[in-house]
Amino acid sequence: MARRPVFLAAAALLVAALTAVALAPWSRTGFPREGSPEVRFVREMTQHHAQAVDMATRIRDRSRDQTLRALALDIMLSQQEQIGQMRGWLTLWGQPWGGPGMTAEHARMMGMATPAELEQLSTLPVPEAERLFLQLMIRHHQGALAMVEPALAPGIRPEVQTLARQIQATQGGEINLMTRLLAARNAQPLPAPPAAGDTHEH
């Protein structure tokens, strides 16, 4: 019977040791603070994603092109899921969702559409709206690829880096698809956003 307390004590020590190892990064660095690269990236990418979901919803409600509708749905679902993930991190880190985001000028540099461009997706004839959607979303994705670069730098939390790599892979592939869909409509992409020319400037 004496072995049971010894076993339990050893098990408790093992659990404590494993917990200490698991929590070591948290105790060393703590949660990201206001103004940190992680908090800034998460807030700005949430803002960026929210517009992509809006654009995709607008065109999916109008288009009858099955490939375009499937693409729009993929964008809606994947980016809504990532928004939820990023907001969960902000909550865990003790940071408000609605802190400082991108200014209008910064948003344009990151490929975001203007209110007038968004309105055109809902008002132009459907074929023209489809072309505009592809042009705007390619530019939007190019901005996102620029935004992920700082999140891949050394010292950034690993979960944030993982999300940045996911965005990089997914949106890079979607740019290729949208470029082909645009070419099939005898149209060309818009000029890349300013941020795409210098992916290390924030």
- Residue spans per domain, the chain: 1-30, 33-197
pTM beyond 0.85: no
User: What is the pLDDT confidence band of residue 197, given thresholds at 50, 70 and 90?
Assistant: low
Half-sphere exposure of 118 (CA within 13 A, CB side): 14
User: What is the pLDDT confidence band of residue 195, given thresholds at 50, 70 and 90?
Assistant: confident
The reply to whether CATH 1.20.1260.10 applies to domain 33-197 is yes
pLDDT digits (tens, 9 = 90+) for 6-52: 443 444 444 333 333 333 344 335 888 988 999 999 999 999 999 99
In this structure, which amino acid lies at residue 37? P
Residues 27, 31: Cα–Cα separation, whole Å: 9
pLDDT for 100 equals: 75
pLDDT digits (tens, 9 = 90+) for 118-172: 999 999 999 999 999 999 999 999 999 999 999 999 999 999 999 999 999 999 9
Reported residue count of the chain is 202
pLDDT for 4 equals: 44
Alpha-carbon distances, residue 40 vs 16, 155, 156, 158, 187 (angstroms): 34, 15, 12, 15, 35
